[in-house]
Chains A and B, each alone.
Chain A
Amino acid sequence: MIFDVALNGNPCFSELHPVLAGLIRALATDPWDRYPEGSKRLLPAPGTHEELCLDWEDHVQPGLRHQFDTDRAMVSADLELMTQAEGQDGDDGPFRLEIPKGHVDAWLTTLNALRLAIASDHDLGEGELSDQGFPDLSTERGSALMQINFYALLQECLIRFLQDGGEA
């Protein structure tokens, strides 16, 4: 995978192996559908005051949920534009994904939301998340870790893009 900035200023992931492209396409997943338990982490309570929590549930969380859905819809639309190069000898070629610079925040939120939902759903702790070793992909837990870590890499690239002066 290569990350760089296109001539038009858009961040771009290229030379994406089809497996990685598949993982990126999974960002269109609605975490509330796929990880209903894990998605509870996406709308946490604001504290312990009962009245505040009830108000939050009624008046704040619907707006947050709507924003997350809107961001995911933007990411889904961008995913439709992911292109695949012709591979050698008839094999599947690598993919290229260009993200409009104005959509970077939506991508960061969507990446983070899915990471949080997956981690919460599998009850992944700090030790596993910080383990530098390669996860056991034969297990669901290991596959979840790999997915979370890959999305983290994408997030870091986009954060670096913003820090280097890319506009969001």
Chain B
Amino acid sequence: MTATPDLLESSETAISPSQDLPWLVIVHNDPVNLMSYVAMVFRRIFGWTRERAERHMMEVHSKGRSVVWSGGREQAEHYVQQLHAALLLATIEKSA
């Protein structure tokens, strides 16, 4: 089956210059936050398994930061707001 040009465009998702790079949600280390608490917050906000939550928590702990999500700006801001509500240090950055 051959895709028509307009179907190709819609399957690739229309891209505007401002949307061509995803926004990153980054969690930064804070020595006060408990590791168990950080992992719990990750599971609640992102719906991750225990293993994935602990992997990102350990990355924050050992490397100082972890990219926990990438995508559109609005969703990124929503996640950062939730992370701030849980008192985690989180920022939004444009993907390089």
Contact = CB atoms under 8 A, between A and B. Distances in A.
A113 B87 contact: yes
A112 interface: yes
Which size bracket describes the interface of B in this complex? 20 to 34
A27 interface: no
B21 interface: no
Contact of A129 (B31, B37, B84, B90): B31
Contacts of B36: 156, 159-160
Q: Which interface class (under 10, 10 to 19, 20 to 34, 35 or more) fits A? A: 20 to 34
Contacts of B89: 44
B34 interface: yes
B81 interface: yes
A47 B93 contact: yes
B34 A64 contact: no
A129 B32 contact: yes
Given A46-B77, A129-B31, A155 B91 contact: no
Interface in A35-61: 41-49, 52, 60
B33 interface: yes
Most buried by B among A60, A125, A130: A60
Nearest to B77: A46
B91 A47 contact: yes
Contact of B30 (A45, A52, A67, A116): A116
B40 A162 contact: yes
Nearest to B29: A126
Interface of A: 41-49, 52, 60, 64, 67, 108-109, 112-113, 115-116, 119, 124-126, 129-130, 148, 152, 155-156, 159-160, 162-163
17 contacts: A45-B91, A47-B91, A47-B92, A47-B93, A64-B81, A109-B85, A109-B87, A113-B87, A115-B32, A116-B32, A116-B33, A126-B31, A156-B34, A159-B36, A159-B37, A160-B36, A162-B40
